[in-house]
Homo-oligomer: A and B are copies of this chain.
């Protein structure tokens, strides 16, 4: 082991760099951006109209001295899902999530009100699903919301094992553009 004169161990630069793992938030942002790009592609080609809902913000103070400037506000939890839209006249609603785990998708990624919302969507005849990205495996699946909600409501389960996601989900084709081509799967498995 090599040491500095002060006794501290020497760590080569490449080892240090290897440790730099993107944070959960940033990983999410990357996947979210890819889904947004996919939706922009669908809009451009006239295939579907799918929007990301803005994050709700609780506004506390607004300064009206020079126009309306918000000076104090806080992020709020999304009470619904991130995405919704229209495809062949049908209502679509989904949540896109990414996990770094190789073995299971942790269900604490999903908020209870999102489960309630997705159940309501299906009750109204809408199409509801999850897009789950397995970051470490480079695989992405479309999973029926009913299946995920059933899992969520079974108390002892805290995650969806990869094997279950693979056998019940539908693998999304990844390419340059559209990045995650989930629409053909929706057409094949969810449209009646």
Chain A residues with a Cβ under 8 A of chain B:
43, 46, 48-49, 51, 53-57, 59, 67-75, 80, 84-93, 120-121, 123-126
Q: Oligomeric state, in number of copies? A: 2
| Bound CA–CA A161/B71 (angstroms) | 41
Contact of A49 among B56, B57, B70, B121 (CB under 8 A): B121
A-B residue pairs, 3 tightest by C-beta: A89-B125, A86-B91, A86-B126
Q: A57-B57, A86-B124, A90-B125 are in contact. List 6 more A-B contacts (CB 8 A).
A: A70-B72, A71-B71, A71-B72, A86-B91, A87-B124, A91-B92
| Bound CA–CA A72/B69 (angstroms) | 7
Verify A70–B74 contact, CB threshold 8 A.
Answer: yes
Verify B70–A73 contact, CB threshold 8 A.
Answer: yes
Verify A49–B88 contact, CB threshold 8 A.
Answer: no
Q: Which residue of B lies closest to A125 (CB)?
A: B89
- The interface centre, meaning the residue of A71, A84, A86, A123 with most chain B CB atoms within 10 A of its CB, is A86
| Bound CA–CA A179/B125 (angstroms) | 25
Contact of A53 among B54, B68, B73, B88 (CB under 8 A): B54
Known contacts A46-B123, A49-B121: A57-B73 contact under CB 8 Å? yes
| Bound CA–CA A32/B72 (angstroms) | 24
Q: Which residue of B lies closest to A80 (CB)?
A: B51
Query: For residue A43, which residues in chain B have a CB less than 8 angstroms away from its CB?
Result: 120
| Bound CA–CA A59/B70 (angstroms) | 9
Verify B88–A124 contact, CB threshold 8 A.
Answer: yes
Verify A68–B74 contact, CB threshold 8 A.
Answer: yes
| Bound CA–CA A40/B69 (angstroms) | 30
Verify B91–A85 contact, CB threshold 8 A.
Answer: yes
